[in-house]
């Protein structure tokens, strides 16, 4: 798993696994999930990330182990870029 935070764009991407994105679904407002052709989750994009939004998305997706993510997005908690 890799977490990429783009502070200039005010976005974050959590890469779950490698693969080619077949389609993307909006899970919540400003939360998008990338899937491969086998309907496996490849990554989660958060626009204007907020820890509460991330926790809600992870709860909906029921991804084991990701519920321990707490601090990587702390700097971006509901902050908009300048």
- Tell me how far apart the alpha carbons of residues 11 and 8 are, in angstroms, rounded to a whole number: 8
Question: What is the pLDDT of the chain when averaged over all its residues?
Answer: 76
81, 13 contact by CB (below 8 A): no
Question: Residue 32 gets which letter from DSSP?
Answer: E
| More confident of the two residues 5 and 82 | 5
Give the chain's domain count. Answer: 1
Q: Does the predicted model carry a pTM greater than 0.85? A: no
- The pLDDT of residue 66 is above 80: no
pLDDT at 20: 97
Classify residue 81: in a domain, yes or no.
Answer: no
- Tell me how far apart the alpha carbons of residues 18 and 27 are, in angstroms, rounded to a whole number: 20
Classify residue 82: in a domain, yes or no.
Answer: no
Q: Could you read off the pLDDT of 3-60 as tens digits, one per residue?
A: 787 878 778 898 989 999 999 999 988 889 999 999 999 999 988 766 666 777 777 7
76, 5 contact by CB (below 8 A): yes
Domain coverage including residue 26 = 2-76
User: Which residue, among 3, 16, 26, has the nearest Cα to 75 in the 3D structure?
Assistant: 3
Q: Could you read off the pLDDT of 12-25 as tens digits, one per residue?
A: 898 989 999 999 99
């Amino acid at each position: 798993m890799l977490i990429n935070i783009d502070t200039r764009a005010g976005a974050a991407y959590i890469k779950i696994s490698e693969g080619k994105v077949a389609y993307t679904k909006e899970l919540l407002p400003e939360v998008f999930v990338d899937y491969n052709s086998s309907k496996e989750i490849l990554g989660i994009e958060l626009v204007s990330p907020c820890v509460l939004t991330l926790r809600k998305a992870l709860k909906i997706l029921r991804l084991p182990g990701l519920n321990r993510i707490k601090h990587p997005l702390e700097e971006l908690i509901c902050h908009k870029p300048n």
